[in-house]
Structure 1
Amino acid sequence: MKNPFAGIGDLGKMMTAAREMQGKVDEFQKTLETLTVVGESGAGLVRVTANAKGELQALDIDPSIFVPSEKQVVEDLILAAIRDAQDKAMARAQAEGQRLAGDMGLPPGMKLPF
């Protein structure tokens, strides 16, 4: 008769590995909150700071562009800087995710569940 509890040791190892992986994913998420990127437009006239999760943290506008007749230009520059910061945040998050996956011994290109 086969022992029904023979694989429990392996199951325990799998559960431990799953908890460790979850801890690393949680740490990764916290890291994304602390990493910052700066998006800009108009040769730096508008700068947006975001964390690697894409959450906007700061906006810096050079005062030289505050001309009432240029309202649309300023709005376009702000949107362009936001998009730039969000694109950089996504790239940074992907790079950090690949680094974490490599650290955990996962195959290249495997995406972690976020």
Structure 2
Amino acid sequence: MKREIKKYLFDIKVSIDSINDYLGSDRNFFEYQKNKLLRRGIEREIEIIGEAMSRILKIDPTMRIQNARQIVDTRNWVIHGYDKVDDVIIWGIISKNLPELEKEILQYLDL
């Protein structure tokens, strides 16, 4: 695997770790929803994840990461559709999709 791809995979891992740090162990949707700073921080990390995935796919379009295209699309939606970002959808991504993505990333990084 190219060094550049590993760097982007590591960036994704760092953003996932940051989201987990922001939320802590007491994950509460209603606390998330009413904390604008928390929401914006998590949205930024999702943007970073999507941008890193986009760069990976440009280098190696055959990279096998489940939902890679949807990850890039989510980044675009958060950035360009900022006024239509839905907290429920973001929470679903945090709760369901990020743990799955983290497992895949860890396998590639051998961590």
Please classify the TM superposition score into its range, dividing by the shorter chain length.
0.3 to 0.5
Find the structure with the greater CA-based Rg.
1
Greater RCO, CA 8 A, separation 6+: 2
Q: Which has the higher helix share?
A: 2
Query: TM-score if structure 1 supplies the norm length?
Result: 0.35
Query: TM-score if structure 2 supplies the norm length?
Result: 0.35
Q: Which has the higher strand share?
A: 1
